[in-house]
Amino acid sequence: MHPSARISAAIEILEDLETRRRPASDALKDWGLSHRFAGSKDRAAIASLVYDALRRRAGARYLMQSEAPRAEMIGALALARDMTADEVESHFSGVGHAPAPLTDEERAHLRAKNLADAPDWVLGDYPEWLAPHFARAFGDEAVAEGRALAARAPLDLRVNALKATRPEMLAELAHLGAQTCRFAPFGLRIAQGAAGRGAALDAEPAYARGMVEIQDEGSQVAAALCRAAPGEKVLDLCAGGGGKTLALAAAMDNQGELFATDSDGRRLTPIFSRLERAGVKNVTVRAPRGKADPVADLEGACDLVVIDAPCTGVGTWRRNPDAKWRTRPGALEQRQAGQDEVLRRGARHVRPGGRLVYVTCSLLREENEDRLAAFLGENADFSCENAAETLSRAGLEGLDGAASPHGPGLRLTPARHDVDGFFVALLQRNG
């Protein structure tokens, strides 16, 4: 497909998203099924265009003074792809499968490229309703953090210490340009190719054999901060697909007991094949059955309970740019109630002297420091480590600026650390 035809296809998919309000991955899949002539490179290029438009939707709409999908694409080419007005116009010729030529109004807005008077939520490309929440979380850095969340993410891998070492995998994946991550001790990073095209990891023997796993560096750091140790009894209360479960099992060197559960058993489905591929032997998966608590027998018995709490996912916008536009204000309140409940539930399973780690992939205070403060106010038998102590005990002192300015806990952000956004707090049960 000609590049201009790919832009037409991307506009068509954006129109579908605007009409049907569904995940971009679903719309892209349906488009591919109905346009089988498009090869894998075409589909990847079209997906990259769609996601770039979603990343810069607020800025593109403001630039073009229109909310139409076509306007979003024109603006995104200028903002996300840094195309000149002439370069953009060359793709809108109306010839063959190219989009129709630019109108005089479109051309004028594009050439002006005026964002000088735009509000912070436009400059940072996040939903307007989140503006006060971003200001509360980031202050003067709200725009910078929003812009970092609107950037493309690299591909991060965690070397599975049960099967390989990082130097071995650096050599194995050198042809992909693998480099060591800045903070995660087992992390590798592979930069995205042109137009956001990623490495074909499925074709790599190291991945097929479970020697590396896909995991953002921020998520790897969060797992490392838990300090899971061989011989401990550990509960991963919101295990989902098992990303952090695998990292915890590797830290435990397959020694001790690691229990993985989730309130939604469907989210656990991928974990079984991942555990087998990774060579993990010390994990017991407890899927929910009816209303019974699948880990009731572990109350007061765990050395470590990890809560990777369901949240709005603000910190993952680099990888899921459509999620920020599909999240509605009511979802924040619902998540807070769920987070309070899972904290209460997790606390019941911690033995005296044991640890409770609260993790979210959100950067909003309402889901992080506020939840922690509410929990500590109701649970005098728990105390929270300060950030410096948590980093020191995990051997991760190099994370400058990670201590939250709003209370205990650590904040990992794309602007400061070039990782997905995470909040991590380590609490201890006294006595």
Average pLDDT rounded to a whole number, residues 248-260: 97
- Choosing from 181, 226, 361, 384, the catalytic residue is 361
The whole-number pLDDT of residue 194 equals 62
Say what the pLDDT of residue 113 is: 87
> What pLDDT shows up at residue 196?
59
C-alpha span between 356 and 235 (Å, rounded)? 10
pLDDT of residue 192: 79
Query: Is 70 exceeded by the pLDDT of residue 197?
Result: no
State the pairing for strand pair 257-261/422-429.
Answer: unpaired
Q: Residue holding tokens 């572990």?
A: 298
**Which segments are annotated as binding site?**
262, 308
CA distance 68 to 100: 14
Residue 198 pLDDT level (bands cut at 50, 70, 90) = low
Provide the mean pLDDT of the chain.
Answer: 94
CB of 429 closer than 8 Å to CB of 352: yes
Residues 326-337 have a mean pLDDT of: 91
Active site residue 361: yes
**Mean pLDDT of the region 64-82:** 96
Residues of each annotated binding site for S-adenosyl-L-methionine: 262, 308
297 burial level (CB within 10 Å; 0-12, 13-18, 19+): exposed
Asked whether the predicted pLDDT for residue 37 surpasses 90, the reply is no
| pLDDT tens digits, 262-286 | 999 999 999 999 999 999 999 999 9
Q: Are 245 and 314 in contact (CB under 8 A)?
A: no
What pLDDT is recorded for position 310?
Answer: 93
User: Would you state the pLDDT for residue 308?
Assistant: 96
Supply the pTM of this predicted model. 0.94
User: Which domains are delineated in the chain?
Assistant: 3-115 (1.10.940), 155-214 (3.30.70.1170), 217-429 (3.40.50.150)
CB contact at 8 A, 389 and 378: no
Percent helix / strand / coil, the chain, rounded to 5: 50, 15, 35
